[in-house]
Protein backbone atom coordinates (compact mmCIF):
# COMPACT_ATOMS: atom_id res chain seq x y z
CA UNK A 1 0.00 0.00 0.00
CA UNK A 2 2.99 2.32 -0.20
CA UNK A 3 2.03 3.33 -3.80
CA UNK A 4 -1.09 5.10 -2.56
CA UNK A 5 0.96 7.84 -0.89
CA UNK A 6 2.41 8.94 -4.23
CA UNK A 7 -1.06 9.48 -5.69
CA UNK A 8 -2.11 11.76 -2.84
CA UNK A 9 0.28 14.46 -4.11
CA UNK A 10 -1.79 14.93 -7.27
CA UNK A 11 -4.21 17.31 -5.55
CA UNK A 12 -1.46 19.93 -5.51
CA UNK A 13 -1.45 20.18 -9.31
CA UNK A 14 -3.25 23.27 -10.55
CA UNK A 15 -6.13 22.64 -12.88
CA UNK A 16 -7.68 20.03 -10.62
CA UNK A 17 -9.50 22.69 -8.65
CA UNK A 18 -11.18 23.88 -11.87
CA UNK A 19 -12.55 20.39 -12.48
CA UNK A 20 -14.95 20.12 -9.58
CA UNK A 21 -17.85 17.73 -10.15
CA UNK A 22 -21.46 18.82 -9.68
CA UNK A 23 -23.11 17.84 -6.43
CA UNK A 24 -26.06 15.44 -6.46
CA UNK A 25 -28.54 18.35 -6.38
CA UNK A 26 -26.79 20.51 -8.96
CA UNK A 27 -27.45 20.40 -12.66
CA UNK A 28 -25.54 22.34 -15.29
CA UNK A 29 -28.37 24.88 -15.26
CA UNK A 30 -28.15 25.44 -11.47
CA UNK A 31 -24.41 25.27 -10.96
CA UNK A 32 -23.91 29.01 -10.65
CA UNK A 33 -23.92 29.89 -14.33
CA UNK A 34 -26.44 32.33 -15.81
CA UNK A 35 -29.81 30.95 -16.85
CA UNK A 36 -30.07 29.17 -20.18
CA UNK A 37 -30.48 31.61 -23.02
CA UNK A 38 -28.18 34.17 -21.43
CA UNK A 39 -25.75 35.67 -23.90
CA UNK A 40 -22.69 35.17 -21.65
CA UNK A 41 -23.38 31.55 -20.86
CA UNK A 42 -21.50 29.92 -23.74
CA UNK A 43 -18.77 32.55 -23.82
CA UNK A 44 -18.12 32.13 -20.10
CA UNK A 45 -17.98 28.35 -20.39
CA UNK A 46 -15.67 28.54 -23.38
CA UNK A 47 -13.36 31.04 -21.70
CA UNK A 48 -13.09 28.95 -18.54
CA UNK A 49 -12.41 25.81 -20.59
CA UNK A 50 -9.61 27.51 -22.50
CA UNK A 51 -8.19 28.84 -19.23
CA UNK A 52 -8.26 25.32 -17.77
CA UNK A 53 -6.41 23.94 -20.81
CA UNK A 54 -3.82 26.69 -20.55
CA UNK A 55 -3.44 26.08 -16.81
CA UNK A 56 -2.80 22.36 -17.25
CA UNK A 57 -0.22 23.10 -19.95
CA UNK A 58 1.54 25.68 -17.76
CA UNK A 59 1.62 23.21 -14.88
CA UNK A 60 3.06 20.50 -17.12
CA UNK A 61 5.71 22.90 -18.45
CA UNK A 62 6.67 24.05 -14.95
CA UNK A 63 6.98 20.49 -13.67
CA UNK A 64 8.96 19.45 -16.76
CA UNK A 65 11.45 22.26 -16.17
CA UNK A 66 11.72 21.27 -12.50
CA UNK A 67 12.31 17.64 -13.52
CA UNK A 68 15.04 18.58 -15.98
CA UNK A 69 16.80 20.88 -13.52
CA UNK A 70 16.60 18.30 -10.73
CA UNK A 71 14.31 20.37 -8.50
CA UNK A 72 11.43 17.87 -8.60
CA UNK A 73 11.18 15.19 -5.93
CA UNK A 74 8.92 12.81 -7.85
CA UNK A 75 9.21 12.50 -11.63
CA UNK A 76 5.77 10.89 -11.71
CA UNK A 77 4.22 14.30 -10.99
CA UNK A 78 5.72 15.69 -14.20
CA UNK A 79 4.65 12.66 -16.21
CA UNK A 80 1.09 12.81 -14.90
CA UNK A 81 0.87 16.55 -15.53
CA UNK A 82 2.13 16.13 -19.10
CA UNK A 83 -0.39 13.37 -19.78
CA UNK A 84 -3.18 15.43 -18.24
CA UNK A 85 -2.25 18.42 -20.42
CA UNK A 86 -2.18 16.23 -23.54
CA UNK A 87 -5.57 14.67 -22.83
CA UNK A 88 -7.10 18.04 -21.97
CA UNK A 89 -5.80 19.54 -25.22
CA UNK A 90 -7.14 16.59 -27.22
CA UNK A 91 -10.54 17.01 -25.57
CA UNK A 92 -10.61 20.75 -26.32
CA UNK A 93 -9.64 20.05 -29.93
CA UNK A 94 -12.35 17.42 -30.31
CA UNK A 95 -15.00 19.72 -28.85
CA UNK A 96 -13.88 22.49 -31.20
CA UNK A 97 -14.04 20.17 -34.20
CA UNK A 98 -17.53 18.98 -33.25
CA UNK A 99 -18.67 22.59 -32.86
CA UNK A 100 -17.33 23.52 -36.29
CA UNK A 101 -18.99 20.44 -37.83
CA UNK A 102 -22.31 21.34 -36.19
CA UNK A 103 -22.03 24.92 -37.45
CA UNK A 104 -21.28 23.72 -40.98
CA UNK A 105 -24.25 21.33 -40.92
CA UNK A 106 -26.55 24.14 -39.80
CA UNK A 107 -25.24 26.40 -42.55
CA UNK A 108 -25.75 23.63 -45.15
CA UNK A 109 -29.38 23.20 -44.07
CA UNK A 110 -30.09 26.84 -44.87
CA UNK A 111 -28.58 26.69 -48.35
Other CB atoms within 10 A of residue 106 CB = 9
pLDDT, one tens digit per residue, over 7-50 is 334 334 444 444 444 444 444 444 454 555 556 788 898 899 99
Q: What percent of the chain stands above pLDDT 70?
A: 64
103 within domain boundaries: yes
Q: Check residues 38 and 80 and name the one with the higher pLDDT.
A: 80
Q: Can you give the length of the chain in residues?
A: 111
Whether residue 16 is contained in a domain is answered as no
71 DSSP assignment:
-
Determine, yes or no, domain membership for 25.
no
Asked, for residue 1, whether it belongs to a domain, the answer is no
Distances (CA, A) of 64 to 72, 74, 94: 9, 11, 25
Distance CA 27, CA 44 (A): 17
Please tell me the total count of domains within the chain. Answer: 1
Q: Are 59 and 81 in contact (CB under 8 A)?
A: yes
As a whole number of angstroms, the longest Cα–Cα distance in the chain is: 63
Choice between 11 and 101, residue whose per-residue pLDDT is larger: 101
Q: Which domain holds residue 76?
A: 40-111
The pLDDT assigned to 28 comes to 47
Assign 14 to helix, strand or coil: coil
21/110 Cα distance (integer angstroms)? 38
User: Cβ of 50: how many Cβ atoms within 10 Å?
Assistant: 12
14 within some domain: no
In a domain, 30, yes or no: no
Predicted TM-score (pTM) of the model is: 0.59
Residue 33 counted as domain residue: no
Residue 90 resides in a domain: yes
Amino acid sequence: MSGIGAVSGLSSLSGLSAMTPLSATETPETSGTPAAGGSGNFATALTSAVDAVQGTQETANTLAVQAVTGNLDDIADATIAATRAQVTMELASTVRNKGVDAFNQIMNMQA
